């Protein structure tokens, strides 16, 4: 069977992570993604190092598979014309320049929709294309801060950013879903539309019940480390040899938790019987559990809790995750043949499709790897391509 997005063309003018992650998801589903980079230097994430893999940026390698890569100088009239030629038959254009840049280049939505009325034009920015902060640059750590995440992540003494680029990656996921929805809209309504996707808006969406709780009563959770503002115990505790997370999400699990570890005194203690009471006595209960866990091996704790159906697990490092039998069984690492990186492995698309599973068609492209191929497809002759290259336009 054909992949779901096979036959759709995406012109990818984005760089760094949020945009490239969006287009990689579309490419995994079969879209023909043409990644446009500036000549000579390319996507800035090619220089986000270390780490590298045989000289290539792991940052770039992780977000750019299944794309054809070309180089175009968007500041030149000839470069702008190349993009307009691509847009004629494209379904999607995605960009993440600062607000107003695409318009200055002569490639704004109002211009491109005249060329292709069915075009879905997706703009990704830090703060959105409207509002008082529309001209601000946005990077992941900044949006984790201004979007509220760092106010609830870390400890009471010190805020912390998420270890992964959660603002970029969540925005890329929202953007990919929105693009596919807009494509369906084109099928039904016959016209494209403009998508204004901001890292800030996506972070606000991720605040979810915490934002609703604030609107309800003006309160919000303080930074609790690994703990949960509404559930106890729902966090990490130090065992003898490792940190163990337990997720006691209801009163039934609390009873099983105590029974599994033979803590009869806690089972019978009425002041901890209900989650509401456990939350009110958080400090006392955390201290009791912490003291007892510190005397036990993590393997014993996890084995006992799992035997009673209580969710638990050790905090694993990246190596432990990559070698986990479950992750291996789920085939979550892809092997990709790359022209300069032997044995390249990157995380796979995380959803399993029974009929149309994603496939690897292209390795993350070398800079300008498919420029000739794409321009020839637009009707450029070899002589014209060489002239553009000699002028540093491609």
CB 312 within 8 A of CB 306: yes
Pairing of the two strands 312-314 and 243-247: antiparallel
Could you tell me how many residues make up the chain? 394
Q: Tell me, what's the pLDDT at 255? A: 97
**Could you say which of 168, 241, 251, 265 is catalytic?**
168
Q: Can you read off the two tokens belonging to residue 378?
A: 């637009």
3-state percent helix, strand, coil for the chain, nearest multiple of 5: 40, 15, 45
* Per-residue pLDDT tens digits for 22-53: 999 999 999 999 999 999 999 999 999 999 99
Q: What's the pLDDT score for residue 220?
A: 85
Look at residue 334 in the predicted model and tell me its pLDDT: 95
CATH C-level class of 243-314: alpha beta
Outline where the chain has alpha helix (H): 18-28, 58-61, 77-88, 101-105, 109-115, 140-146, 166-189, 199-217, 251-260, 264-267, 275-280, 282-293, 298-307, 318-322, 325-329, 371-377, 382-390
Average pLDDT for runs of 10 along the chain of length 394: 96 97 98 97 96 96 98 98 98 97 98 98 97 94 96 94 96 98 97 98 96 92 92 98 97 97 95 96 97 98 98 96 96 96 96 96 97 98 97 96
Closest CA to 236 of 227, 248, 224: 227
**Reduced to 3 states, what is the DSSP secondary structure of residue 4?**
coil
Residue range 9-206+328-390 forms a domain whose CATH class is: alpha beta
Give the residues across from 159 on adjacent strands.
154
Q: Tell me the domain boundaries of the chain.
A: 9-206+328-390, 243-314
Active site annotation includes 335:
no
3-class SS at 166? helix
What is the distance between the alpha carbons of residues 313 and 302, in angstroms, rounded to a whole number? 6
In whole angstroms, what is the distance from residue 343 CA to residue 6 CA? 27
d(C-alpha 220, C-alpha 149), whole Å: 12
pLDDT of residue 211: 94
Tokens 């930074």 appear where? 223
């Amino acid at each position: 069977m054909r992949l779901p997005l096979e036959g759709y063309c995406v012109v990818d003018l984005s760089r760094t992570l949020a945009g490239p992650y969006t287009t990689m998801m579309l490419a995994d589903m079969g879209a023909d993604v043409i990644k446009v980079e500036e000549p000579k230097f390319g996507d800035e994430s090619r220089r986000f190092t270390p780490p590298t893999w045989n000289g290539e940026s792991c940052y770039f390698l992780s977000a750019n598979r299944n794309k054809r890569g070309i180089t175009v100088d968007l500041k030149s009239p000839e470069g702008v014309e190349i993009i307009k030629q691509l847009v004629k038959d494209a379904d999607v254009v995605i960009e993440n320049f600062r607000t107003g840049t695409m318009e200055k280049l002569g490639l704004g939505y109002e211009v491109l929709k005249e060329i292709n009325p069915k075009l879905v034009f997706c703009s990704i920015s830090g703060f959105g294309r409207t509002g008082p902060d529309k001209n601000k640059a946005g990077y992941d750590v900044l949006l984790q801060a201004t979007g509220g995440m760092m106010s609830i992540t870390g400890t009471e003494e010190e805020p912390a950013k998420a270890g992964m680029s959660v603002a970029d990656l969540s925005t890329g996921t929202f953007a990919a879903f929105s693009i596919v929805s807009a494509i369906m809209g084109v099928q039904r309504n016959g016209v494209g539309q403009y998508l204004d996707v901001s890292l800030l808006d996506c972070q606000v969406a991720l605040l979810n019940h915490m934002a609703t709780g604030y609107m309800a009563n003006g309160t919000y959770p303080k930074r609790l480390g690994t703990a949960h503002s509404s559930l106890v115990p729902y966090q990490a505790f130090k065992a003898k040899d490792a940190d163990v997370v337990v997720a006691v999400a209801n009163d039934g699990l609390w009873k099983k938790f105590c029974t599994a570890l033979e803590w009869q005194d806690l089972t019978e203690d009425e002041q901890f019987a209900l989650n509401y009471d456990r939350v009110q006595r958080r400090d006392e209960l955390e201290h009791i559990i912490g003291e007892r866990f510190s005397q036990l091996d993590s393997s014993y704790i996890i084995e006992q809790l799992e035997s009673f159906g209580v969710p638990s697990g050790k905090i694993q490092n990246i190596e432990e995750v990559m070698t986990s039998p479950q992750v291996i069984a789920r085939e979550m690492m892809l092997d990709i043949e790359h022209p300069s990186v032997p044995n390249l492995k990157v995380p796979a698309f995380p959803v399993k499709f029974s009929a149309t599973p994603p496939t690897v068609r292209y390795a993350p492209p070398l800079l300008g790897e498919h420029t000739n191929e794409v321009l020839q497809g637009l009707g450029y002759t070899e002589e014209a391509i060489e002239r553009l290259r000699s002028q540093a336009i491609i």
